[in-house]
């Protein structure tokens, strides 16, 4: 059993060490390459976008192509801003949240309360599948359900329904997960005092898992806020500020899409994208903060 190959074995040390080192270097190099897109994209947005961000950017309507063209020809900055996009995005997010948050939280509580029965698992699986549905397909749904049958035209409602369906599975899942972390004793204490069931949910379970629910909602919002595809099929866009649910509405990503399709507006593309990215990152940061805060306590 004492191998005669010991010498050959020792000879392989060097080769194996080298192979190990080369592999480690490859892993490090590829990992660094993986970080490069984010750095390139962020720096591109900042370098090209900061110049156009000023007060007007937040208070003025998006310019039309002639305004942009004449400004360009006289070498000035493109006038106007993206206020109709910002209000539109906020409006859509608000509507979508109004639909998705109550349904999502209640469905999440239902799943938590009913453990792993067959029906509950079915709902859970459906939520899983819904999470994977491409957003463009949800745009089609918003179009068929709302644009064609309810508002008979492109509308904020159609867009927010599509976005709400996107938010739902995320909120359902995060609600169920946070509810699981509420100590059973807190619930029992409420029940022992004879508090009615719906009040235990409203006064005990939701408050004590508030930060978790909040994180889920913020992450869901940050996922829909940059969505463009479903809005193309549902809200269409609007050159003015609109807060009516049955009228077409603009949104920041829709404005970016318009700017992209108009060679005169290039400068506004980057500032709008920078704004949108900043918004998403801030939402992500806030929710990470909440998670970190909760884990500390």
Partner 1 sequence: MKSEKITKYVLFAVSLIILLIFAGMVFSLAGGAMPVFKEYGLKFIISADWNPTTGRESYGALPFIIGTLITSLLALLICFPLSFSTSLFIAEFYHKTRVASVLGTIVDLLAGIPSIVYGLWGFYTLRPVIIALGLSDQGFGIFTSSIILAIMIIPYATSLSNEIITMVPTELKEAAYSLGATRFEVIFNVIIPNARSGIVASYILALGRALGETMAVTMLIGNANIIPDGLFSTGNTMASLIANQFGEADGLKLSALIAIGLLLFLITAIVNALGKYIIRKFS
Partner 2 sequence: MVENNINIQNPVLSIRNLSIAYDEKKFAVKDVNALIERNAITAIMGPSGCGKSTLLRAINRMHELYPKIITKGEILLNGQSIYEMQTIQLRRKIGMVFQRPNPFPTMSIYDNVIAGYKLNGIKLNKDQRDDIVEKSLNDVTLWDEVKDSLFKKGTFLSGGQQQRLCIARTLAFNPEVILLDEPTSALDPIATAKVEELLVDLKKKYTIVLVTHNMSQAARISDNSMFMYLGELIEYGKTEAMFTNPKNPKTEEYLTGKFG
Residues that bind partner 2 (CB under 8 A): 1-3, 5, 9-10, 12-13, 16-17
- With CB under 8 A as the contact rule, the residue among 8, 198, 295, 296 that binds partner 1 is 198
Nearer to partner 2, 4 or 37 (CB): 4
Q: Which one, 96 or 107, has the nearer CB to partner 1?
A: 107
Cβ contacts of residue 11 below 8 Å, gap of 6+? none
User: Please, which residue, 1 or 30, has the CB nearer to partner 2?
Assistant: 1
Query: SS3 breakdown of the chain: % helix, strand, coil, rounded to 5?
Result: 80, 0, 20
Number of residues engaging partner 1 in binding (CB under 8 A): 79
Q: Which of 50, 133, 181, 189 binds partner 1 (CB under 8 A)?
A: 133
Q: Determine, following the binding rule CB under 8 A, whether residue 50 of this chain makes contact with partner 1.
A: no
**Contacts within 8 Å (CB) and 24+ apart, 131-139:** 131/169, 131/170, 131/173, 133/165, 134/229, 135/162, 135/166, 135/227, 135/229, 135/230, 136/229, 136/230, 136/233, 138/162, 138/163, 138/165, 138/166, 138/230, 139/229, 139/230, 139/231, 139/232, 139/233, 139/234
Q: Write down the least CB distance from residue 58 to partner 1, Å.
A: 19
Which of partner 1, partner 2, none binds 38 (CB below 5-8 Å, type-dependent)? partner 1
The interface region with partner 1, picked from 75-83, 123-131, 207-215, 238-246 by CB under 8 A, is: 123-131
* Closest-CA residue to 245 (of 173, 162, 151): 151
Q: Does 226 bind partner 1 (CB under 8 A)?
A: yes
71 is a contact residue toward partner 1 (CB under 8 A): no
**257 alpha-carbon distance from chain centroid:** 18
First to last CA, the chain: 58
| Residue placing its CB nearer to partner 1 in the complex, 156 or 172 | 172
DSSP annotation string for 246-263 = TS----HHHHHHHHHT-G
Confirm or reject binding of residue 33 to partner 1 (CB under 8 A).
yes
Q: Does 286 bind partner 1 (CB under 8 A)?
A: no
- Please report how close the Cβ of residue 229 comes to partner 1 at its closest, in angstroms: 4
- Using the rule CB under 8 A, is 182 a contact of partner 1? no
Residue 8 or 38 with smaller CB distance to partner 2: 8
* Piece in contact with partner 1 (CB under 8 A), picked from 77-85, 181-189, 208-216, 273-281: 273-281
Residues 84 and 61: beta-carbon distance below 8 Å: yes
């Amino acid at each position: 059993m004492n191998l005669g190959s010991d010498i050959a074995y020792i000879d392989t040390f060097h080769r194996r060490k080298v192979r190990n080192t080369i592999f480690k270097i490859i892993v490090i190099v590829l990992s660094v390459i993986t970080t490069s897109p984010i750095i390139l994209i962020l720096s591109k947005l900042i370098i090209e976008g900061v110049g156009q961000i000023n007060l007007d950017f937040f208070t003025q309507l998006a310019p039309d192509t002639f305004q942009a063209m004449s400004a360009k020809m006289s070498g000035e900055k493109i006038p106007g801003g993206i206020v109709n996009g910002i209000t539109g995005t906020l409006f859509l997010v608000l509507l979508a949240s109004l639909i998705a948050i109550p349904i999502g939280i209640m469905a999440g509580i239902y799943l938590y309360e009913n453990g792993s029965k067959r029906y509950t698992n079915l709902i859970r699986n459906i939520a899983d599948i819904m999470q994977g549905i491409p957003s463009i397909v949800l745009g089609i749904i918003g179009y068929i359900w709302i644009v064609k049958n309810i508002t008979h035209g492109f509308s904020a409602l159609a867009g927010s329904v599509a976005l709400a369906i996107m938010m739902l599975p995320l909120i359902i899942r995060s609600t169920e997960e946070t509810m699981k972390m509420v100590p059973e004793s807190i619930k029992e204490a409420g029940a022992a005092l004879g508090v009615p069931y719906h009040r235990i949910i409203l006064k005990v379970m939701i408050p004590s898992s508030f930060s978790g629910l909040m994180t889920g909602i913020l992450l869901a919002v940050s996922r829909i806020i940059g969505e463009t595809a479903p809005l193309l099929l549902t809200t269409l866009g609007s050159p003015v500020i609109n807060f009516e649910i049955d009228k077409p509405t603009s949104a920041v990503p829709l404005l970016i899409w318009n700017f992209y399709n108009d060679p005169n507006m290039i400068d506004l593309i980057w500032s709008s994208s920078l704004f949108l990215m900043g918004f998403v990152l801030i939402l992500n940061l806030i929710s990470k903060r909440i998670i970190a805060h909760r884990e500390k306590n």
